[in-house]
Structure 1
Amino acid sequence: RKNTPSLPKTMTTHFSPAYPWDKSSLKSMPVDLQQLEKLDAYALKVNVKNSVEELVKALLKQARTDLEKVRVIWMWICHHIEYDVVGYHNKSQLSSKPRDVLQMGKSICEGYAELFEHMCRLAGIQCKKLSGHAKGYGYKTGQTFTGDSDHAWNAVYLEGRWHLLDSTWGSGSVDDAFTKFTYRYNEFYFLTHPALFINNHFPDNSNWQLLKPTLTLKEFENNMLHNSNFYTLGLLATHPETPIIQTVNGKASVSVECHPGTLFMFKLKGTDKHGLMTLKKDGMELDIYPQNTGRHKLEIFAKPSKAEASDDVYTCVVEYVVECESVDKAMRFPKDLLQPVGPSWFSKRQGFLQPSHKEPVLHTNDGRCSLTFTLGKDISVQTSLHTDGSSLTEDEGRRHVLQTQCKSQVKLKVHLPHAGNFVLKIYSKKRSDPGNYDYVFNYLIRCLNTEVKWPPFPKRYIKWLPDYEIEEPLSGLLPANRNVHFKLKMHSIAKVLVQAEDTYTLTQNMGYWEGTCNTSGCTEVFVMVHENANHSFYSQVLRYEVETQ
Structure 2
Amino acid sequence: MRIPKTAFVFLFLHIFFLNFTFAQKLSEVDKIVAKYPKSFNTTEKLADKIENDFNSDYDRARAIYTWIALNIRYDYNAYLNPPKMRGFTYSSEAEKQRKIKQMNDDLIQKAFNSKKAVCEGFTALYQHLSTLVGIKCEIVRGDSKTSVRDIGRKTTSSNHAWNMVLIDKKWRLIDVTWGQGYYDSSKGRMVNDFAPIYFDTDPDYFFAKHFPDSGSFLGSRLSKEDFLNGPLIYNKTIEEDYKIKAPDFGILEVRRGDKIDFEIKNVSKSNQVFYLNKKNQAVKVQNPKEKRGGLEFEILIDNNVGDYITIFVDTNSIVSFKILPK
Correspondence 1:321-336 to 2 at 5 A: 321-324=322-325
- Equivalent residue number for residue 56 of structure 1: 47
| Residue-by-residue CA offset, 1:1-49 (whole Å, 9 max, x unaligned) | xxxxxxxxxxxxxxxxxxxxxxxxxxxxxxxx99983332221222243
Residues 38 and 271 of structure 1, relative CA distance in 2, 3 Å threshold: closer
Structure ranking higher in strand proportion: 1
1:173 alignment partner, SS class: strand
- 2: CA distance, partners of 1:237 / 1:221: 16
- What's the offset of the Cα at 1:59? 2.2
- 2: CA distance, partners of 1:56 / 1:275: 50
- 1: CA distance, partners of 2:155 / 2:141: 14
CA contact (8 A) 1:167 1:189 kept: yes
Where relative contact order (Cα < 8 A, 6+ residues apart) is larger, the structure is 2
Residues 193 and 274 of structure 1, relative CA distance in 2, 3 Å threshold: closer
Residue 296 of structure 1, aligned match among 307, 316, 325: 307
- 1: CA distance, partners of 2:283 / 2:29: 50
Aligned residues, how many?
Answer: 279
- What's the offset of the Cα at 1:139? 4.2
| Residue-by-residue CA offset, 1:332-379 (whole Å, 9 max, x unaligned) | xxxxxxxxxxxxxxxxxxxxxxxxxxxxxxxxxxxxxxxxxxxxxxxx
* 2:37 paired with 1:41: no
* 2:119 paired with 1:109: yes
| Residue-by-residue CA offset, 1:70-109 (whole Å, 9 max, x unaligned) | 0111110010000001111221179871111110001001
- Equivalent residue number for residue 84 of structure 1: 75
Could you say which structure has the larger radius of gyration?
1
Identity %: 24
Instruction: Name structure 2 gaps, 5 residues minimum.
Output: 1-22, 86-102
Residues 169 and 275 of structure 1, relative CA distance in 2, 3 Å threshold: closer
CA contact (8 A) 2:25 2:196 kept: no
- 1: CA distance, partners of 2:193 / 2:219: 29
Letter in 1 for 2:61: V
* Higher deviation after alignment, 236-245 or 83-92: 236-245
1:119 alignment partner, SS class: helix
| TM-score between the two structures when normalised by the length of structure 2 | 0.77
| Residue-by-residue CA offset, 1:273-323 (whole Å, 9 max, x unaligned) | 88862222221312213127x9622121002xxxxxxxxxx1111112223
- What's the offset of the Cα at 1:242? 1.4
Residue 232 of structure 1, aligned match among 225, 239, 242: 239
- Equivalent residue number for residue 177 of structure 2: 168
CA contact (8 A) 1:135 1:200 kept: yes
| TM-score between the two structures when normalised by the length of structure 1 | 0.47
Letter in 1 for 2:308: K
- What's the offset of the Cα at 1:203? 0.5
- Across the aligned residues of Structure 1 and Structure 2, the Cα RMSD in angstroms comes to 2.8
CA contact (8 A) 1:238 1:254 kept: no
- Equivalent residue number for residue 155 of structure 1: 164
1:250 alignment partner, SS class: coil
Instruction: Name structure 1 gaps, 5 residues minimum.
Output: 1-32, 304-313, 326-549
| Residue-by-residue CA offset, 1:476-504 (whole Å, 9 max, x unaligned) | xxxxxxxxxxxxxxxxxxxxxxxxxxxxx
Residues 64 and 158 of structure 1, relative CA distance in 2, 3 Å threshold: same
- Equivalent residue number for residue 57 of structure 2: 66
2:272 alignment partner, SS class: strand
2:34 alignment partner, SS class: helix
2:243 alignment partner, SS class: strand
| Residue-by-residue CA offset, 1:514-533 (whole Å, 9 max, x unaligned) | xxxxxxxxxxxxxxxxxxxx
1:269 alignment partner, SS class: coil
| Residue-by-residue CA offset, 1:202-250 (whole Å, 9 max, x unaligned) | 001133x3474x2221221111222221232331224221122122462
Residues 49 and 236 of structure 1, relative CA distance in 2, 3 Å threshold: same
